[in-house]
Amino acid sequence: MKNMIYKSKEGDLDLTQITRLYPAVIVDMQGEVAEMSLEWVELYGDKVKLVSYILVFDFTPLNEEVKKKITLSYETKEELIQTMAEVAQFFQD
């Protein structure tokens, strides 16, 4: 079986346990911090302060109430895309 452990700055992540994996951004909207999609920030980003780019590894089993997520944070979109490319390598043949 293929090794599916991604070594991140937050520790080793077992990619076989992921239920969702998605990029997003953290924005500051007049003092309120929120997680928004990359698409949203492209449309409305000029109205908010972008705090960071994030890649969310969601390990929460379906129908579970308690969320188990690990979020990696980046200063630039390029860093986020680089990590997404690294993670995608695990899912290639």
Q: State percent of the chain over pLDDT 70.
A: 98
Question: What whole-number distance in Å separates Cα of residue 64 and Cα of residue 61?
Answer: 6
Task: Identify the residue with better confidence: 92 or 40.
Answer: 40
Q: State percent of the chain over pLDDT 90.
A: 77
pLDDT at 30: 87
Mean pLDDT, rounded, for 56-83: 94
Residue 4 near residue 16, CB atoms below 8 Å: yes
pLDDT at 65: 87
